[in-house]
Amino acid sequence: MLQGKKILLGITGSIAAYKVPLLIRLLIKEGAEVQVILTENARDFVTPLTLATLSKRPALTYPFNEKDGTWNSHVDMGNWADLMLIAPASAATLSKMATGLADNLLLTTYLSAKCPVFFAPAMDLDMYRHPTTERNISTLQSFGYTLIEPQVGELASGLCGAGRMEEPENMLEAIKLFFRKDTLPFDGKHFLISAGPTWEPIDPVRFIGNHSSGKMGFALALKAAQRGAKVSLVTGPTHLTIDHPNIMRTDVLSASEMNLACQEAFANADVTIMAAAVADFTPSAPSQVKIKKEKGIESIQLKPTVDILSGLGGLKKRDQLLIGFALETDHETENALKKLHNKNLDAIVLNSLNDEGAGFGGDNNKVTIFDRNGNHFETGLLSKSEVASEILDIVFGMINKEEG
């Protein structure tokens, strides 16, 4: 995939440097050529010998080789590279990159680079959140450089939050995506995908929910992102995790929260797929305090939730595609087609609870997809990931038809 691509890999002083040898291995395995430049501080975290062995090239820190006087030309390296990645990018280096302070080989090469620049910050939570760091990152983005966002998680300091450098596998994906851009079917498209159940509060600790696991929506989000789409994933409560540089995840609890998040993302969405199992009813007057057992609950009064999909159907513009799911137990086709028309959809994915091995919770699914032109397509019983691929193949066909 990266055969012959020339990558300049800049490493700065951060504990996350320990992950870089793995990234180099992955890049080399994909056929890339890797030239490592590390700052003096980075040498405290990872050795030049390790980096040189894996990259099959000397790992450089100084402009001159002290022994034989050979010049490591930052200009030549800047011209040579197809892409420069600075990972980990410490707060100090981000600041120097933003202001052009070229006081080491990495930074002189960065200033000379004619290629796209990616940077993957790694630092402590408070440093990452500091206004100067935020400003430096925005400045770099305004230059057209690509931020590989740090992950939220446990940090070396023991704190927990954003600041953990992205994993090597995902950085590799981001690089591959960049080089593959021309051929990816959903490149430049924005998807909004909803997933999971909603929880409707009875009181601060109790809720009405449903059996949706979120697996179908997550599979769609991942596949769409792997095909180049930028994905806004709005999900109800689920234990699922998802990790892809193109996916922006928003977690919500209730139908009304999901509605707000979907409405916000919808304006920019070329394709929207509502795979969430949104509750149709919510307690009319949830208690603000925990209802005590002794007091008892004789009945819970419910009111209808907002129909998110119908609302989006009303807002839909001509160049937007809107796809819903229908979960049916009887009169499946009839009910699904009714939803297709009533909610102003371009297609609907029918999930029948009568199909053995398909539906809620499990890893498999079997669906029928109806479009608004009267076509339909039935998948066999497949993994949810395969079903997601089939659905996205159809979406791709629909986009091409609209644009063609």
Q: Which span sits near ligand CTP by CB under 6 A: 57-65, 105-113, 123-131, 302-310?
A: 302-310
Asked about 210 being catalytic, the answer comes back as: yes
Site string for ligand CTP, 210-249 (x = CB under 6 A): ----------------------------------------
State the catalytic residue, choosing from 210, 259, 365, 400: 210
Among 36, 98, 308, 347, binds ligand CTP (CB under 6 A): 308
CB of 262 to ligand CTP, least distance (A): 8
Q: Smaller CB distance to ligand CTP: residue 246 or 351?
A: 351
Count of residues near ligand CTP by CB under 6 A: 14
Q: Which span sits near ligand CTP by CB under 6 A: 82-90, 163-171, 318-326, 367-375?
A: 318-326
Q: Which span sits near ligand CTP by CB under 6 A: 26-34, 159-167, 200-208, 270-278?
A: 270-278
Among 26, 309, 388, 398, binds ligand CTP (CB under 6 A): 309
With helix as H, strand as E and coil as C, how does the chain read? Answer: CCCCCEEEEEECCCHHHHHHHHHHHHHHHCCCEEEEEECCHHHHCCCHHHHHHHHCCCCECCCECCCCCCECCHHHHHHHCCEEEEEEECHHHHHHHHHCCCCCHHHHHHHHCCCCEEEEECCCHHHHHCHHHHHHHHHHHHCCCEECCCEEEECCCCCEEEEECCCHHHHHHHHHHHHHHHHCCCCCCEEEEEECECCEECCCCCEECCCCCCHHHHHHHHHHHHCCCEEEEEECCCCCCCCCCCEEEEECCCHHHHHHHHHHHHCCCCEEEECCECCCEEECCCCCCCCCHHHCCCCCCEEECCCHHHHHHHHCCCCCEEEEEEEECCCHHHHHHHHHHHCCCCEEEEEECCCCCCCCCCCEECEEEEECCCCEEECCCEEHHHHHHHHHHHHHHHHHHHHC
CB of 375 to ligand CTP, least distance (A): 19
Position 339 contacts ligand CTP (CB under 6 A): yes
Position 327 contacts ligand CTP (CB under 6 A): yes
Among 77, 252, 278, 322, binds ligand CTP (CB under 6 A): 278
Query: Any idea which residues carry the catalytic annotation?
Result: 210
